[in-house]
Amino acid sequence: MSWGGVVVAAAFSTQLNPDRLRFRLVGAHTDSPNLRIKPNPDLSQVGYRQLGVEIYGGVLLNSWLDRDLGISGRVVVGDQNSWETHLIQVDRPLLRVAQLAIHLDRDVNDGLKLDRQSHLVPIWGLGDTEEGAFSSFLADELGVNHSDVLSWDIMCHDLTPASPLGRNEEFYVAPRIDNLASCHAALEALSGIETVEEDTISVVALFDHEEVGSESSSGARGPMLSNALERLAATRAVSREQFLRALTKSSCVSADGAHAVHPNYVDRHEPQHRVALNAGPVIKLNANVRYATDAESSALFQAACQSADVPFQQYAHRTNLLCGSTIGPITAAQLGMSVVDVGSPQLSMHSAREMAGSSDPAYLTSALSAFLADT
């Protein structure tokens, strides 16, 4: 099942036993922090055409400066009686948020401060703006009448392609590693399962809107996952009572990026939990349940790593810094199942271009395969 920013995929035996049913679930999110085009975006300022943008999620603002940007998303086309959704992706240099020259901001290297409303407005042309200019541009790209463009969900994206990095290519750099790396690993793991135990439904659920709180119909706080699991169970003649019992016997891996120790900012990391790139998946723990991991769910994932012959690490946040969260605690609260928060380590999280270890995607995929297959 897929719609919007959501994917739910499953594997199960045709001989499933309803009384012994349990789920093995991997959850991740498809969205990443970015700049999104406003509904009435057309602006002009001293001879430049610009587009109004809104900040989506916890964007590392400075990372979007001086980058060649394309756009992607969906456009609704039609009239008041009928409409349809078109996907769009413009992968040519279209927009740029130009940084102020140092000659005009001599103190910039003592601390860059960016105003979200006025300093992050991308340039996309010269001249006075025309009402509906961006809408007309979308229509031309899609080959439809200008008047047929009704609305859009459009984001900016960095055009620099993903690439290996380092003397021995120990790293890779790319946009949206958080959290497409987890999505890729989860789907690869599920698609590689050859057999599923008779008592297990193995599921991958990829949510939208994690970066802004998950409170949407396609977010982890909504009913989508619970409904999807119950519908999957119903295809195997599982009763409501059997389904509810199954949830209590089930387990979930919440897969999201983890903070690797930064060589230039070692003091920002908990001394006894310094996570390394290319050293395997990270089990994330937090006493205040910002992560859902507990001793039992940690042991379950450790067993999966050992079965897959994959190294693992453990992460705890510095006590004097606020800790982020994931869909893990949400899933545990919504479904009442055991959840472990894990992820591949990375640097530059929430930058327009992130960095990770080149060995870690395979490590995470192997560990998730073992978990989903219950081996």
Rounded-to-integer distance, Cα 297 and Cα 62, Å: 37
Please write the tens of the pLDDT for every residue from 333-362: 999 999 999 999 999 999 999 999 999 999
Would you give the distance in Å from CA 296 to the centre of its chain? 26
Three-class secondary structure of residue 357 per DSSP? strand
Distance between start and end Cα atoms, the chain: 26
Rounded-to-integer distance, Cα 324 and Cα 76, Å: 34
Q: In the prediction, which pLDDT does 197 show?
A: 80
Q: What are the start-end ranges of the E strands in the chain?
A: 2-3, 6-12, 22-29, 34-45, 48-56, 69-78, 83-95, 123-126, 149-158, 163-165, 171-174, 200-207, 251-255, 258-259, 282-285, 313-316, 338-343, 345-347, 354-357
Token representation of residue 337: 């199942």
Rounded-to-integer distance, Cα 118 and Cα 52, Å: 9
What is the residue-level pLDDT of the chain in tens, covering all 375 positions? 777 789 999 998 888 889 999 999 999 999 999 999 999 999 999 999 999 999 999 999 999 999 999 999 999 999 888 999 999 999 999 999 999 999 999 999 999 999 999 999 999 999 998 889 999 999 999 999 999 999 999 999 999 999 999 999 999 999 999 999 999 999 999 999 988 788 899 999 999 999 999 999 999 999 999 999 999 999 889 999 999 999 999 999 999 999 999 999 999 999 999 999 999 999 999 999 999 999 999 999 999 999 999 999 999 999 999 999 999 999 999 999 999 999 999 999 999 999 999 999 999 999 999 999 986
The DSSP 8-state label assigned to residue 15 in this structure reads T
Q: Whole-model pTM?
A: 0.95
Q: What are the start-end ranges of the E strands in 277-344?
A: 282-285, 313-316, 338-343
| Topology classification of domain 2-32+176-373 | Aminopeptidase (3.40.630)
What is the domain partition of the chain in residue ranges? 2-32+176-373, 34-158
> Are the CB atoms for 148 and 45 separated by under 8 Å?
no
Q: Which CATH superfamily is domain 34-158 in?
A: Aminopeptidase i, Domain 2 (2.30.250.10)
